[in-house]
């Protein structure tokens, strides 16, 4: 949060001469620099003598943005009651790879994410004002929760 709320400036223009610029001159110089950078042809810059360009913001790691995106995804998963791995989020140390992504998302999303909603629909449809007294409605989720068989050898045909 601290790194996001107080970002490192991407560019610093440093005066390397003994000439002191006024506040208005500094503001004008910075404004000209900003306008030039936003120009569609702004990939090339000119620095007059006496100015030095420093780029401390270029050293900031992209991990901050990736971590923030992951944290937002984890928060969304918590809000809707879905395991974070089911939406490809989670602790950064815990990586999802080919071996465990299927296992993590295959059963957890239906079991923990969809089952509470399915149960709510079951309960509401089973109430006496919807169906006749004593009638119970239940969604069949066995096919969703069944683990598909993985063949041990390639399929052969005669």
Name, in order, each residue with C-beta under 8 angstroms of 52's C-beta and a sequence gap of 6 or more: 13, 14, 16
The pTM assigned to this predicted structure is: 0.40
Name, in order, each residue with C-beta under 8 angstroms of 95's C-beta and a sequence gap of 6 or more: none
Q: Which fold has domain 2-59?
A: Arylsulfatase, C-terminal domain (3.30.1120)
Short-list 113, 73, 78, 75, CA closest to 96: 73
- What integer pLDDT is reported at residue 5 of this predicted model? 74
* 8 A C-beta contact, residue 50 and residue 19: yes
Segments of the chain assigned E as strands: 12-15, 51-54
- What integer pLDDT is reported at residue 151 of this predicted model? 62
Phi-psi bin for 119: left (phi > 0), alpha (psi -120 to 50), beta? Answer: alpha
C-alpha to C-alpha distance for 44 and 155, rounded to whole angstroms: 60
Q: pLDDT per position in the chain (158 positions), as tens? A: 676 677 677 788 888 888 888 999 999 988 988 888 888 887 888 888 888 888 776 655 667 778 888 889 889 888 887 777 777 776 654 555 555 555 555 566 666 667 778 889 999 999 999 999 989 998 887 776 666 666 666 666 65
Cβ burial, residue 85 (10 Å; 0-12/13-18/19+)? buried
Instruction: Enumerate the domain spans of the chain.
Output: 2-59, 63-145
- What integer pLDDT is reported at residue 85 of this predicted model? 76
């Amino acid at each position: 949060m601290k790194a996001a709320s107080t970002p490192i400036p991407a560019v610093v223009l440093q005066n390397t001469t003994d000439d002191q610029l006024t506040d208005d001159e500094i503001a004008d110089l910075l404004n000209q620099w900003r306008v030039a950078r936003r120009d569609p042809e702004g990939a090339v810059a000119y620095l007059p003598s006496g100015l030095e360009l420093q780029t401390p913001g270029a050293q900031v790691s992209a991990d901050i943005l990736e971590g923030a995106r992951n944290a937002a995804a984890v928060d969304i998963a918590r809000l809707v009651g879905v395991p974070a791995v089911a939406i490809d989020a989670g602790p950064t140390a815990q990586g999802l790879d080919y071996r465990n992504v299927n296992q993590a998302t295959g059963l957890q999303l239906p079991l923990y994410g969809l089952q509470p909603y399915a149960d709510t629909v079951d309960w509401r449809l089973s109430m006496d004002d919807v169906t006749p007294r004593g009638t119970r409605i239940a969604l069949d989720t066995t096919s969703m929760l069944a683990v598909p068989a993985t063949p041990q050898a390639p399929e052969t045909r005669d």
